[in-house]
Structure 1
């Protein structure tokens, strides 16, 4: 992992950002295909690709934020914990979560429906451990990024809620599933911006 981070960090900034944007596009395409396809085999392939692209995006993020410096022990631990939680999340979403549509036992339906919360809790734990291991300056930058993420996603959620209440758009429960990923994306972008601004 250090090898790839160093190689990407050695690129010119526009090259790093171009690779990052392309990676985000591939990730988004895989996610959209996985959600839209009726083919189980294609969905499995897309989920495997999503796990791989999560790893690529983590490397890209570290290469941009570390700027060629050696990766800290805390960063390596964070990436390892996030990758394990992400892989578990994909497996749960592929294998366990669909069971809630195919069982009549109410307890099993509840368990299957909330089963993705286990890897999600693992991700949140990894994030908290990472921020706690940072120095005060990095904790401040993480707090600023989290503030932006909370504000932007809350604003977007409220706008969607108002439009839905006015019957201008239709939203179902699936929209709630997008709140945490949206927060993570805005948080990551805000953190990258903060690091660039203060470096």
Structure 2
């Protein structure tokens, strides 16, 4: 039990700072790109989010490699589900754009990776339940889900507060909404966790 717990703790230490850096870069630095005229500096700022993404991927790969065979199989199924869903959506979007039904530009590519991560999380959750394991994504034997959701809500709220003068009303409102949704999710998961724990202690007594 000690080794899996240490692996997941390491994952938490590596994943969340990298993810917070990605969010901060996208919301605080990217709006400044139109004001940058130096070609090299603009190139570096444009590719900076990729560095944060690579750190996130590194944390996930280290988690998978440190897991047992069942966990690795669950991760593989989640990745297969994500790859199938995202590639199918991309194909459908390409055909619709080619037919002139919808208009897409290059910025749509920015959403490929976040969509892949969300689909991967859902696929892994489904596979974990199918094999009778915990349904929590990437946090089994790690920090409780409600604490992770609360941390994410606080990070996004901090980014919104720090970048208030650089963000448009739409971006600021979106961040506040996401932060509020994550905070509400954290509260609901915390209530479920505490109720389950209270029932276990009550039945044991």
TM-score (norm 2): 0.60
Residue 191 (structure 1) aligned with residue 124 (structure 2): yes
User: Who is 2:142 aligned against?
Assistant: none
Q: Pick the aligned partner of 2:87 from 131, 154, 162.
A: 154
Deviations 1:145-191 (A, max 9, x none): 10110011000001001111111101112211111111111111111
Q: Quick one: distance in 2 between partners of 1:120 and 1:180?
A: 9
Residues 97 and 115, structure 1, Cα contact 8 Å, conserved in 2: no
Deviations 1:52-76 (A, max 9, x none): xxxxxxxxxxxxxxxxxxx711112
Residues 97 and 116, structure 1, Cα contact 8 Å, conserved in 2: no
Q: Pick the aligned partner of 2:112 from 150, 158, 179.
A: 179
User: Who is 2:75 aligned against?
Assistant: 142
Q: What secondary structure, in the 3-state scheme, does the structure 1 residue paired with 2:36 have?
A: coil
Q: Pick the aligned partner of 1:167 from 97, 100, 106.
A: 100
TM-score (norm 1): 0.62
Residues 131 and 142, structure 1, Cα contact 8 Å, conserved in 2: yes
Residues 148 and 186, structure 1, Cα contact 8 Å, conserved in 2: yes
Higher relative contact order (CA 8 A, sep 6+): 2
Q: What secondary structure, in the 3-state scheme, does the structure 1 residue paired with 2:95 have?
A: helix
Q: What secondary structure, in the 3-state scheme, does the structure 2 residue paired with 1:178 have?
A: helix
Give unpaired runs (5+ residues) of structure 1.
1-70
Q: What secondary structure, in the 3-state scheme, does the structure 2 residue paired with 1:170 have?
A: coil
Deviation at 1:127, TM superposition (A): 0.5
Aligned-pair RMSD on alpha carbons? 1.3
Give unpaired runs (5+ residues) of structure 2.
133-205
